[in-house]
Amino acid sequence: MNICVLDGYAANPGDLSWQAFDALGTLKVYDRTAPGEIVSRLADTEIALTNKVVISARTMDALPKLKYIGVLATGYNVVDVAAARARGVVVTNIPAYSTDSVAQLVFAFLLNICQQVQLHSDLVHQGRWVSSPDFSFTAAPLVELAGKTMGLVGLGNIGQAVARIALAFGMKVLALTSKTAVQLAAAGLSELQAVDAHSLFSQSDVLSLHCPLTEETRSLVNARTLSWMKPTAILINTGRGGLIDEAALAAALADNRLAAAGLDVLSTEPPRADNPLLTAPHCYITPHLAWASVEARRRLIQIAADNVLAFLSGKPVNLC
């Protein structure tokens, strides 16, 4: 079998190995693939792996040898799954490989914002502490998490991991979720309270987004729902950029109607230079890296290889 990775750089920029595929077939890895290069690179390939390269129905029509598409991510919107099924092409994804890493970034944002780590470190390096008349100084209010309310939109693997960490910090946890009290208890989250959207937005000191992007959730955070939030509240998004109306969020931050935002995802990635959040005050942005710890990427590659092995064995798993 010929195996081709269309955009392997994000998962493995050179610090990991693709060795898990050695026994599965002949592997070809491209760092990146432009739309016009897809068909030529997959022409003799039965097994394609993609992270963000889009594989459409038209592309599949030009690839009669293609039997399998493995998405190197949890979201599989880059593949026309219905078209693949109609053509007998198996599509798989990689669920739950980065749960702990994403939850960790939620609290990296939160602790930086509440403790003003970046600000104070910058000031120390600029000489502020050296010239201080006191042994200690603070340049902004510091916030303690214990006793605050964490609100979660979505309660899948990542949302549950964030909830557990929040509870360990002594926070109250609310969630917008379809899970029942019995399911929450089974997940060890009996302390968590399920609430409606207005209660979640209005009561949360921290609101963290962990739901999929659908027509129902697109721009879930908008001018109206932002108006429900406390001016001292913090918004964190490690889910999908489209969950937020970015102009509305930028305006809320500029008008001090929201204390801060921590964002790992934006509506367009890489962002346009005129994205209003790039210049919004108290807006902390990382380049979609929550998933990218060494440990998570190593798991991703191993699970991708395991998915291919299961397919070759006639028992495919993690089907989309």
Query: How does pLDDT run along the chain (320 residues), one tens digit per residue?
Result: 999 999 999 999 999 999 999 999 999 999 999 999 999 999 999 999 999 999 999 999 999 999 999 999 998 999 999 999 999 999 999 999 999 999 999 999 999 999 999 999 999 999 999 999 999 999 999 999 999 999 999 999 999 999 999 999 999 999 999 999 899 999 999 999 999 999 999 999 999 999 999 999 999 999 999 999 999 999 999 999 999 999 999 999 999 999 999 999 999 999 999 999 999 999 999 999 999 999 999 999 999 999 999 999 999 999 99
Catalytic residue selected from 58, 269, 272, 295: 269
210 is catalytic: no
288 is catalytic: yes
pLDDT confidence of residue 28: 97
Is the domain covering 2-97+294-312 a CATH 3.30.300.30 domain? no
Residue with tokens 């092409």: 89
Q: pTM, whole model, 2 decimals?
A: 0.93
Is the domain covering 99-285 a CATH 3.40.50.720 domain? yes
Catalytic residue selected from 240, 246, 297, 299: 240
The number of angstroms, rounded, from the C-alpha of 61 to the middle of its chain's C-alpha atoms is 31
Q: What is the pLDDT of residues 95-125, one digit of tens each?
A: 999 999 999 999 999 999 999 999 999 999 9
224 is catalytic: no
Q: In the chain, count H helices and then E strands.
A: 11, 12
Nearest alpha-carbon partner for 9 in 72, 76, 97: 72
Domain boundaries, the chain: 2-97+294-312, 99-285
Q: What is the pLDDT of residues 149-194, one digit of tens each?
A: 999 999 999 999 999 999 999 999 999 999 998 999 999 999 999 9
Q: Do domains 2-97+294-312 and 99-285 have the same CATH topology?
A: yes
Residue with tokens 């002949």: 26
Q: Which two tokens stand for residue 9?
A: 């750089």
Q: Which two tokens stand for residue 160?
A: 């549950």
Cα distance between residue 107 and residue 152, in whole Å:
13
